[in-house]
Each structure stands twice: as structure tokens, then as C-alpha cells.
Structure 1
Amino acid sequence: MKIAVAKGDGIGPEIMDAVLSIFNANNVPLEYEIVEMGKWVFDKGFNNGMTPEAKQTIENLGLLYKGPMETPKGKGVKSINVTARKTWNTYANKRDFQTLHGVDTVFSKAGIPINITVVRENIEDTYGGIEHMLTHDVALSRRFITRPGSMQVIRYAFEMARQKNAKRITCGHKANIMKITDGLFLECFYEVAKEYPDLKADDIIVDDLCMKLVTRPDNFDVVVLTNLQGDIVSDLCAGLVGGLGFAPSANIGDHISIFEAVHGTAPDIAGKNIANPTALLLSGLAMLRHVGLTENAAIIENALLYTLENGVHTGDFGDKSTPAVNTTQFAEAIISNFGKQPQAGAKEIIANKPGTPTPMKLQSNAMMVSTEAEEETIVGVDLFIESDEQPAAIAEKCQRHAGVKFKLVNISNRGTQVWPTGSVYTNLVNQYNVRFESIEDYPLNQQDVIGLYVSMSGNFKICSFELLNMWGDKKAYSLAQGQ
């Protein structure tokens, strides 16, 4: 079985070489095709951080094992890590966090075991990176949460929880504030939960989740979240078990999957052969299990756990009264411990059942569209305008343009209503949202909206606009604060 390997930047090549030496010593039946990705590829003029040959190789093989990679700063280019995940639709980012004996934390010292799996949506949310300056003072980031994308990652989380023999799966969210976007994600969670009656499914507001994770992490089993919240919570969980140096990461897609270390490139220690390869090794073990090499994975993980229990450590962790080993020596210690069983957390050795990661050859992009349950109607429009005038003056101008189909119902600034009611204590910026709705809820069409846009543009710079849609009797837009 052949997989693509990108060694990465900074400490990437040395920790990847260490891990591959462990795999080779265990006769892991893999071949490695090295591909060109990372900052040095950006520097050669490839704006997505990978050569066309690397992209084609990964798509042919279906599996990428990668070291940490750096994105050049100040050059307007996108993160190579995010680009890779999104390009190949690796919609589920799975990170396992478990107590490792020999890696001391406040929880291990207190005898509180941790075994949490965070599943983070990996494609959408603010990680779309779709941003605009609406005025010289106001920046906008668009946050996309889709029903098909949410269903993909949530169904994966439930399937994975069942395979893990989990008892509980929790949805972290902020639907109390972002009622439409996070509300849609939460709605999908409970829709999928109906198919898994054997699992206890519940939800928690993400800030409350963070507080409970740092007080009683042993109460959680599997947690699924949207992209940005999942990114933050997964790093929080890494801190619970010793840091990002012990945090494996798998990016799972239907056709291509990526296994990587999520810590940084540590350029300050690059080339010194002192980096900790544990996170990359744990990610590699997840990869071995993903392709059915369960026996190799168990033998190597048991050797790793045994090595940690016996106090072998690199300079970033462990008992400072005992000498640290370098990267190569750490790998050699693991190899010497093949066949040994740790006192805690030993993995069952299950015979390999290797599959193949080779993806299906696709001829076109998959279009994910759910069935529209009710009839869609346009009932108004939000026009985002630039102005430094007071709300009453803006309202007076807007009402001149309303015509016979529209009525001005609300003006807000940074999401807070400032007309027809509001407070002079609300600070303003030079970008308003003026909301027009149809008179007597008469259905509108896009030509009506464009006519209003053209008319309003005589008085204002219109930065952007959004249709106010309804499906049946359900509003598909939020109200302003105080409306």
C-alpha cells in the first residue's frame, strides 16, 4: 500500500524521519511517496503551497501523512493546512485526547483519567476565509454553516462514537446567540441522534463546555463542534493531556484523508534533533488503523506507552531531574520496546485487515443539496450601507425610496437596533443595516429588490445586501438586538 508523505517545515523532516524509522522497524507494510508541500513550496511560487505533481499524487493515492507546515506571513496566501483539508473535503477533524502515563498533568496527578474525542467540522464556518472591508472602518467575515456539511460531520461523529463504544456524544454550540447558523448545526445533531438510540446525545453551550472541560474533563466522551469552536476546544483539550505535542489529528473525507501533527514547526529548534515526535506518531497510528493495519498500530502504541511509563522523554516534557533524550533516541527507545505491555492503557492486538486508500476516480464535483421542505418566498431585504449620519436622518432618506412594495421596518448598527427605537448611548460606526420588508407580506421577487437597490444607491453607497427569505411560516433571518 502506497501513501503520500509530506515531511513539512521546521522540525517536520526530523520528526517524520523518526516516525518512519519506527514504522520500518515494525515492518509496517507501507510504501511512501514523498510530495512537495509547505512554506518552501510557497517560496518557489506555488500559491497553494503544493506542486501540481503533489496534488495529483495525493488524489491518486487517497492518503496524505504530513508534518507541521508553515504558511508565509504577510503575503496574502492561505494556510496550506486549511487549503489541503478544504480542497479534498476532509470534512471531519478527529482528535483523540487521552491520559498518557509518564506525561504529568494536574489531572493525571489527581487520578482523573481523560479519554475525550473531539470531532470538529473541517470545511465551513469562518474558515471559508471570505472577508471584505465594507467601509474603511468595518470588516465583514461570512460564516457558512450548511445542512449537508453539518450532516456529514455529525453522522461521522455518531458512527465513530459507536465504534469507540462511547456512552455519550455532546454537541458544543453557541445557538443561544447564533440562532440560525449554530441553530442549524444543533438541529442536524438531534436529527442524526434519532438514528442512534443507543448513544446518549446532549448539547452544551460552548463557553460552558470549556469551563466544564477544565474542571471535570472525565465527564465527556465524544464532543462534536463547528469549525472555529472545534479548533479552540481541541487545543484546550490538548492542554488537558500535556499539550499539542501529544495531540494526534486525523482529517477524514469520503475519498481522501489527511493525518498530521497539529503543533507548530518550531523553527527555533529545527535541525537540532531534539523535537518530540509523539503527536506525529499518534497521528500515524490513527492512520494505520484507518487502513486496517491494526496489529502494527497496537504493537507500536503499546511500545510508546511503555516507553513513556518508564520515564523516557524529550526535553519538552517529563521529569526534569532525568536526562532528556533526543528525537532519534526517543524513536530508538520505542523500537526497543516492541512487544512490551504498558501497565495502563494497553491496546488489544488485532490482526491486520488492510484495505486500500485509493480513492474513487471522480468525473465531476459532488453537489450536496437537501430537499426543500417548504415553499420559499422573499419578504424583504437587508441593505448594508455606508453612512456617518444619525439614524433618523438615514430613515428619512430611506423612506423616500420605499415605493409601493416596501416599508422600512428597522435600522441597526453592529447588530443593535437604532431606529425606530434605540438609545443615544449606543455607539455607532459608519455602516448600517437598513431593513425593508414587503407591505402586508406581499411576496417579492429579485427584480423588486434590485429596483430598491438602484433607487437607494442614489443616496448611499451600498456595501452588500441579503434577501429576507421565509420557508413556509418560518423566518430565515435574524432580528436585530432590541428589535
Structure 2
Amino acid sequence: MKIAVAKGDGIGPEIMDTVLHIFEAAGVPLTYEFVEMGKWVFDKGFSTGMTPEAQQTIERLGILFKGPMETPKGKGVKSINVTARKVWNTYANKRVFQSLHGVDTVFSKAGIPIRLTILRENIEDTYGGIEHMLTGDVAVSRRMITRPGCMQFLRYCFDMASKQGARRITCAHKANIMKLTDGLFLDCFNEIATEYPHLKADDIIVDDLAMKLVIKPHEFDVICLTNLQGDIVSDLCAGLVGGLGFAPSANIGDAISIFEAVHGTAPDIAGKHIANPTSLLLSGLMMLRHLGIWEQAATIENALLHTLEQGVHTGDFGDKTTAPVMTPEFAAAIISNFGKLPATNAVATQPNHLVDHHPAKPKEYQMLVSENPAPETINGVDLFVESAEQPGVVADKCLRHPGARFTLTTLSNRGTQVWPTGSLFTNCANVYTARFEKKEGPVTVQEVLDLCGRVSADFKICSYELLLQYGNTRGYSLAQGQ
């Protein structure tokens, strides 16, 4: 089978060569087509960080194995890592964190083994990067969470947890504050949980999770999170097992999947052949199992674990009283241990059952839309208006314009109500949210736009959001103090 390989930046080429050398020594039945991606491709003038030929190759082969990549700073370009995940809809990020003998942590010294699977939604949330300046002082980021996107991701989570015999699957969220976005994520989790009654499914507020992970991480098994929260928590979990150098990562999609090291490019040590290839190797083993190459994956992982038990280590970890080895020596030690088993946590060998991974190219964009949505009505509009005046002055101006269809119900600033009631201790920025609600009966988009036209006589309207209701459920939040 052939896969696409991007070596990456900094230490990427040397650790990728090391991993592929280990694969070759183990008889992994893969061939490679190398593609151009990374900072050096940005520098050649490709704004996506990849050449068109690279994109075509990856879309033809369906699997990308990539080293760490750097996005140029200050050039207005998007992260190549995020772009790759989003363009190819690799909607589930899977990272497995486990205690490794020879990698000392607080928990290994206490005799507490850790094995956590963090599943992070990979497409939505603030990682859409949809940001605008409303005024010179106020920036806004749109956090988009969709029901179909949540259902697609969470079905994968439950299916994966069921197949690997998980004892517990936990949804981490901030639905106590972000009641619509995180609330939607949690609702979808609970809905799918009913289809897997054999799994213990529960939820936890993400800040409580962060505290519990550093106190008793062994109590958790599989954890599902939204994109930004998952990014933070997955790095936290890497710290529990020794750092990002031991954190494998897979980005799973229906058509294309990406397996990568998630640590940095470490340009300060590039070319010195002292980098630790373990993270990329573990990611590669996830890729082999994804492709049904179980036998060689088990051989390599058992050899890696045995090598770590022997105390062989690169300079970034291990017993400081023993000399570290260079990257080629680390690989040679693993290869010499093929066929040997670690004293603890040996991986069972399974026969290969190769999986066809070549995606069929879609003829059009797939639309993710829920079936049978609840009836929608417009209850009004939030107008985001620029003003450095006092709330009472802003309200007086807004009250000139509601007409017969609307009434001004509240003014808020940075999410806190400042009119008709509020506190003088509330500091205000120069963007107010003026909420105009219908007087009776649903209103139309045209009536909202007419209102915008009238209000714009007194203010610059920076943005607006319709107040939507679905069936009996309000689709908008209240201001703090409203």
C-alpha cells in the first residue's frame, strides 16, 4: 500500500527518516510518496503551506503521515496543521496517553499507571478562525458548534470506545456558561449515549476535569471535548506521561486521515540527530493499526517498550546518570529488540487485515444538515452598535427607532446588562448590544433590516444577530443580570 509522507520542518526530516527506517526493518508493507508541505513551502509562496501536487496526492492516497510543521509568524497565513485537518474533514483527533517504563513522572514514581484517550472535535469551535474587529477596541470571534458536526464526531467517539472495550466515556464541557454551544455538544453526547447502554457515559465541567486529571487521572478512560478545550486538555495529559515527546496523534476522517507528531519543530537541535522520535513513532503505530497492519505494529511497540525498560533514552528524558543516545542509536536499539517483549504491558500480536484506504473523490460538497428541524421563528434582533456614550444616552437614541414592531428590552456591554438596570461598577467598552424584541407575532428578516436602517442613523452597526426560536426553545442567551 502507498501513503503520502510529509517530513516537516526542523527536526521533522530526521525523525521521519528514523521512523521509516524502523518500519522498513520490521517489514511494514507500505510504500511512500513524499509531498511538499510546511514552512519552507509557505516561503516559496504557497499560502496554504502545501503545493497543489501535494494536495492531489494526499486526496488520492487517503493517508498522510507527517512530521512537525511550522507556520510562519506575522505573515497573515493560517496554520498548516489546522488547515490540513479542516480541508480534509478529519473531524476526530485521537490522542492516547500512557505511562511508559523509563519515562519518569510523578505518577509513575507513585505506582499509578495512566492510560487515557482524549478525543477532540477537530473542525468547529473557535478554530474556524472567524474573527473581526468591531471597533478599534473590540474584537469578536465566532464560535460555531453544529449539531451534525457534533453527531458525526461523537458517533466516532462512542464507536471507538465500544470497540476498544472502554470502561467509561466522559463528555467534558462548559455548558454551565456556554449554554447554547457547549450545551448543544452535551445534548448530542447524551442522545448518542442511549444507543450504547453497555458504556458508562457521564459528563464533567472542563475546569473540574483539569483539576481531577492532575490529582487522579487513572479514574478516567475516554474523554470527549470540543476543539479548543480538547487542545488544552490533550497537552495537559501529555504532561502527565512525560511531555509531547510521548504523545501520538491521529486525525480521523471518513475519507482522509492524518497521523502526526504534535510537538514542535525544535529548530535549535535540527540536524544534530539528538531528537526523540517516540511521538512520531507512536503516531505511526496508530496509523499502522488504522490500516490493519497489526502484526508489525505490535512487534515495533513491544520492542520500543522493551528498549525503554532497558533505560535507553535520548537527551530529553530518562535517567540523567546514564548517557543519552543519538537518534540513530535509539532506532538501532529498537530494531535490535524486535521479537522481545517488555516486562509490563506487552502488546498482543494480531494478524494483519489490510484496509483499503483510497477515498472516492466526492462529486460535490457534502452538506451537514439535520433532518426535520424544529419550526423557526424570529423574535427580534441583537444590534451591536459602536458608542462611547453612557448607557442611558445610547438607550435614548435607540428608543427613537423601534417602530410598531419592536421594543428595546435591554442594553448590554461585554455580555452584562447596563440598561434598564445595571451597576455603575460595570466597566464598558465602546460596543453595546441593543436587544430589540418583537411586540407581537413573528417578525421577518426584512423588518429587521428596516430596523437596522433606522438605527444606523444614530450609530455604526458593527454586526447583528437574529433572535431565533426553534419550536418552544429559545436560540439565544440572556445578558448577565438580565
Instruction: State the distance in 2 between where 1:369 and 1:473 align.
Output: 20
Corresponding residue of 1:33: 33
How far off is 1:270 after superposition? Answer: 0.5
Corresponding residue of 2:479: 480
The answer to whether 1:346 aligns with 2:346 is yes
The residue type paired with residue 78 of structure 2 is K
The 5-angstrom pairing of residues 137-286 of structure 1 reads 137-286=137-286
Corresponding residue of 2:444: 445
How far off is 1:252 after superposition? Answer: 0.0
Secondary structure at 2:95's aligned position in 1? Answer: strand
- Which portions of structure 1, spanning 4 or more consecutive aligned residues, are displaced by more than 4 angstroms? none
The answer to whether 1:90 aligns with 2:90 is yes
The residue type paired with residue 447 of structure 2 is D
Instruction: State the distance in 1 between where 2:283 and 2:250 align.
Output: 7
May I ask how many residue pairs the two structures share in their alignment?
A: 482
Corresponding residue of 2:365: 365
Corresponding residue of 1:14: 14
Secondary structure at 2:395's aligned position in 1? Answer: helix
How far off is 1:355 after superposition? Answer: 1.3
Secondary structure at 1:400's aligned position in 2? Answer: coil
The residue type paired with residue 73 of structure 1 is K
Secondary structure at 2:9's aligned position in 1? Answer: coil
How far off is 1:462 after superposition? Answer: 0.3
The residue type paired with residue 65 of structure 1 is F
Task: Encode CA deviations 1:305-355: one digit per residue, 9 max, x unaligned.
Answer: 000011000000000100100111101100000000001110000010111
The residue type paired with residue 233 of structure 1 is V
How far off is 1:373 after superposition? Answer: 3.6
Instruction: State the distance in 2 between where 1:79 and 1:293 align.
Output: 31
The answer to whether 1:120 aligns with 2:149 is no
Instruction: State the distance in 2 between where 1:348 and 1:27 align.
Output: 18
Task: Encode CA deviations 1:133-183: one digit per residue, 9 max, x unaligned.
Answer: 000000000000000111111111111111111010000000000000000
Corresponding residue of 2:47: 47
Secondary structure at 1:465's aligned position in 2? Answer: strand
The answer to whether 1:428 aligns with 2:438 is no
Instruction: State the distance in 2 between where 1:115 and 1:162 align.
Output: 16
Task: Encode CA deviations 1:194-221: one digit per residue, 9 max, x unaligned.
Answer: 0000000000000000000000000000
How far off is 1:232 after superposition? Answer: 0.2
How far off is 1:374 after superposition? Answer: 2.1
Corresponding residue of 2:108: 108
TM-score between the two structures when normalised by the length of structure 2: 1.00
Gaps of 5+ in 1: none
Instruction: State the distance in 1 between where 2:160 and 2:114 align.
Output: 18
The residue type paired with residue 278 of structure 1 is T
Corresponding residue of 1:465: 464
The residue type paired with residue 231 of structure 1 is D
Corresponding residue of 1:315: 315
Paired-residue identity, %:
72
Secondary structure at 1:190's aligned position in 2? Answer: helix
The residue type paired with residue 69 of structure 2 is M
Secondary structure at 2:117's aligned position in 1? Answer: strand
Gaps of 5+ in 2: none
Corresponding residue of 1:376: 376
Instruction: State the distance in 2 between where 1:333 and 1:48 align.
Output: 38
Secondary structure at 1:417's aligned position in 2? Answer: strand
How far off is 1:74 after superposition? Answer: 0.3
TM-score between the two structures when normalised by the length of structure 1: 0.99
